[in-house]
Chains A and B, each alone.
Chain A
């Protein structure tokens, strides 16, 4: 079964600093991977996704993530944090069969709360 581990339940950065949110996955088949963002009392918004094309994926709001198969990682980065980036971020992996077809489910990590200081 697929699983996702997000290292660090809370990350704090200064405005203008690099943002790095870590995600490691476990999957027996080539995965599809996702990052979502959630603002307080709102639903999840898709930031970006990896679906076996380019390993460096660019998303909205200046975020990007790199798929590293050898490290089973999909870390999310942004070169310069903005106050509006403060939110909770979730990494997710698609639950897929050995042949690549989907069970149609996602497995989510526990989430990382990003705080941005002025």
Chain B
């Protein structure tokens, strides 16, 4: 079975540019999560969706970050404009019936903002 698929795997861009990260959750999963991983702060939840609806976006750092889930099989996380401090690994995860069910992670997007 295909797991959570993220693209791109790596992204290097200059500050000020728009960055779009993509995620395809596991088919049938109704919860989707975006996390950010840095050395300093570890893994932080940014936002999560249930049935394509954003439920909690309190972890989104600031207005430069936005996330959408237009359908059950696709989500995007956008940063505009990007800044060097946004450099991190961004993970997408999905789960079925979210509450207390294991979350399955993608391989992440390693983002470097120069």
A pairs with B:
no
Residues of A within 8 A of B (CB): none
Residues of B within 8 A of A (CB): none
